Each structure stands twice: as structure tokens, then as C-alpha cells.
């Protein structure tokens, strides 16, 4: 199959399903933006590098 450089249809479908799962996880993480409380000093964390 040329679509994803996979040798079989099964491999193509499995690769696409893994991609869909990954994108869904990213979508859930994006929904948390601005909803989590974080306490810490970002400037001191950056100076430690």
C-alpha cells in the first residue's frame, strides 16, 4: 500500500488507528488548557538549566 508505505492493508489500518488514537489524546490534553492550577517559579526553573 502506498498510502503510508505499509506493505499490507492490515498494517495500513493499524498505523492509521494508532494515529487516530494519538490525535484523540492530544485533543484531550488541549481541552485542559487553562484549567489546571500550577504553582511554582518558572524563572527559577529556567535558571537551573
The region, left, alpha or beta by phi > 0 then psi within -120 to 50, assigned to residue 28 is alpha
Q: How far apart are CA 26 and CA 20, in angstroms?
A: 10
- What global pTM score does this model have? 0.60
Per-residue pLDDT tens for 1-49?
455 678 899 999 999 999 999 999 999 999 999 998 988 888 888 886 5
Per domain, the residue ranges of the chain are 9-47
Amino acid at each position: 500500500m502506498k498510502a503510508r508505505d505499509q506493505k499490507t492493508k492490515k498494517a495500513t489500518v493499524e498505523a492509521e488507528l494508532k494515529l487516530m488514537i494519538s490525535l484523540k489524546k492530544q485533543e484531550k490534553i488541549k481541552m485542559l488548557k487553562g484549567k489546571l492550577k500550577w504553582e511554582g517559579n518558572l524563572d527559577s526553573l529556567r535558571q537551573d538549566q
